[in-house]
Amino acid sequence: QVQLQESGPGLVKPSQTLSLTCTVSGGSITTSYYSWSWIRQPPGKGLEWMGVIAYDGSTYYNPSLKSRTSISRDTSKNQFSLQLSSVTPEDTAVYYCARSDGLRVGRTDRHDYGDWGQGTQVTVSS
């Protein structure tokens, strides 16, 4: 079974860039048809899909976040990363990385994803 683990700072100041990394074990991020997403859940709200990087390195983003979001990967470390710029307190959330078979652009149903990280709390505050 594929395992995912998010890592990164738990506190980010407003206007700064949030950077998170997802380390994958038990499977390769370049395995055909696997896709790797970032999803977040603000307090008291539902899941929000942020973006995905596919096995071939192609990326797709939530249009509402696209101007501030970048997803990249390091195949040598079997990791993929999220950068969210110009953060505000509204970006406070639990951030998850997840694996799916095939692209799941915009999907937030947990059943669309085969594996999830445990999630990491990120708070935006001065």
SS3 68: helix
Q: Using 50, 70 and 90 to split pLDDT, how confident is the model at 114?
A: very high
Query: How far is residue 71's CA from residue 114's CA, in Å, rounded to a whole number?
Result: 20
111: DSSP letter = G
Helix (H, G, I), strand (E, B) or coil at 90: helix
Burial 104-117 (b: 16+ CB within 10 A, else e): beebbeeeebebbb
Residue 22, Ramachandran bin (φ over 0: left; ψ between -120 and 50: alpha; else beta): beta
| pLDDT the model gives residue 1 | 87
Confidence of residue 103 (pLDDT cuts 50, 70, 90): confident
How far is Cα 88 from Cα 82, in angstroms, rounded to an integer?
Answer: 16
Q: What is the CA radius of gyration of the chain?
A: 13
So what's the pLDDT on residue 115? 96
Percentage of the chain modeled with pLDDT above 90? 97
71 near 49, Cβ under 8 Å? no
Tokens coding 63: 């249009």
Residue of 22, 15, 90, 10 whose CA lies nearest to 51: 22
60-102 pLDDT per residue, tens: 999 999 999 999 999 999 999 999 999 999 999 999 999 999 9
